[in-house]
Amino acid sequence: MISPCVTIALVPEIKTGPWIFWEPIEVSIPKAAALGFQAVELFTASADALNADLLRKQLDQHSLRLGAVGTGAGKVLHGLTLTNPDASIRARAVDFITDMIAFGAAFHAPAIIGSMQGVIPLEVERERALAWLADGLALLGQRAEDQGVPLIYEPLNRYETNVFNRLEDASHFIDQLCNVVLLADLFHMNIEEASVPDAIRKAGGRIGHVHFADSNRGPVGTGHIAMGEIVTALRETGYNKYISAEALPFPNPDEAAAMTIRSFRNYFG
């Protein structure tokens, strides 16, 4: 079943980011449940930044699931990435993500690698950086598999990374790895793909998570993405996981969440 999920950010340092809810989980989880979301995607400062018992209690009480956990704080707060030329920083990035995988896996939720893929510096050969990334993802993919969850790799648009910007290129890369799936972020794809529906069809069963946002990264319905064909293509790949609203909280979190669930029902209901 394709089900609606919404992001909750718990890292005040990144207040300008594309996440819908910003309030503590005691406030945002009940709001998400009341609107009809079936899961939440969390963005936390680290794996131990949030009390897991409290999270479990909130999720159980509101019959929500944890859809995924973001790992981006490793870069934003600590400067860690999987393509940093410094081997010790790459190792710390792997440790940071390993902890996030364990945190999510306790709730059957996968971890997402987005900004933790980093940006390949000009002075580093691309092949070399990709080999570092492959090493990191291979190890993390294995650790995730040991805990019964996939690992999600997210291609980002050109202004955020030069690693992989399009699903097809990322597909070739992850096909050499084990237990790594792709995240189709409609905002990034709208910038990079020749055709978003065709890119989705080509990636097919590799897609393990979807970030649901419009062309302006607002909630779906506030921009100009032609969503109909995209939704059709997703269905035709047999996608049956989360449609997760990772979008700017415009005009405010509550209205952005309500707009998202309306759009979800329009397209997937």
Partner 1 sequence: MKALVLTKPGETEVREIEPPRPAEGEVLLRVGMVGFCGGDLNGFRGLFELQEYPVVLGHEVGATIEQLGNGVPEQFQTGMRVTISPYKNCGKCLSCRRGKPNACVDNRTMGVRRPGAMTRYITVPWKDVFASDSLSLKELALVEPLTVGFHAAARGRVGKADRVAVIGCGIVGMGAVAASVHSGAEVIAVDIDDSKMAIARKTGAAHTINTSKTNLHEALLEITHGDGPDVIIEAVGNPLTYRAAVDEVAYTGRVVYIGYAKKPVEFQTGEFVKKEIEILGSRNSLGDFPNVIRYLEGGTFPVDDVVSRIVSLDEGGAALAAWSQNPGPITKIMMDLEK
Question: Which does residue 232 bind out of partner 1, Mn ion, none, counting CB within 5 to 8 angstroms by kind?
Answer: partner 1
The DSSP H or E segment spanning 186 is: helix 186-192
Q: Is residue 235 a contact point for partner 1 (CB under 8 A)?
A: yes
Query: What is the smallest separation between the CB atom of 236 and partner 1, expressed in angstroms?
Result: 5
Q: Is residue 238 a contact point for partner 1 (CB under 8 A)?
A: yes
Which span (31-39, 133-141, 199-207, 242-250) binds partner 1, by CB under 8 A?
A: 199-207
CB 199 within 8 A of CB 193: yes
Q: Is residue 228 a contact point for partner 1 (CB under 8 A)?
A: yes
Amino acid at 229: E
Residues binding partner 1: number (CB under 8 A): 21
Which span (5-13, 40-48, 71-79, 226-234) binds partner 1, by CB under 8 A?
A: 226-234
Question: Which does residue 185 bind out of Mn ion, partner 1, none, counting CB within 5 to 8 angstroms by kind?
Answer: Mn ion
- Strand locations in 173-245, DSSP E? 180-185, 207-211, 242-245
CB 62 within 8 A of CB 88: no
Using the Cα atoms of residue 237, residue 70, residue 47 and residue 164 in order, give the sign of their dihedral: positive
Length of the chain: 269
Q: Is 47 exposed, middle or buried (0-12, 13-18, 19+ CB in 10 A)?
A: buried
The binder of partner 1 chosen from 57, 62, 201, 262 (CB under 8 A):
201
Question: Which does residue 75 bind out of partner 1, Mn ion, none, counting CB within 5 to 8 angstroms by kind?
Answer: none
The DSSP H or E segment spanning 112 is: strand 111-113
Question: Which does residue 204 bind out of Mn ion, partner 1, none, counting CB within 5 to 8 angstroms by kind?
Answer: partner 1
Q: Is residue 5 a contact point for partner 1 (CB under 8 A)?
A: no
The binder of partner 1 chosen from 233, 247, 259, 261 (CB under 8 A):
233
Q: In sequence order, what are the residues at sequence separation of 6 or more whose Cβ sits closer than 8 angstroms to the Cβ of residue 269? A: none
The binder of partner 1 chosen from 36, 85, 204, 221 (CB under 8 A):
204
Q: CA angle, corner 74, sides to 72 and 75, nearest 5?
A: 75
Q: Is residue 63 a contact point for partner 1 (CB under 8 A)?
A: no
Q: By the criterion CB under 8 A, which residues form the site for partner 1?
A: 197-198, 201-202, 204, 226-238, 266-268
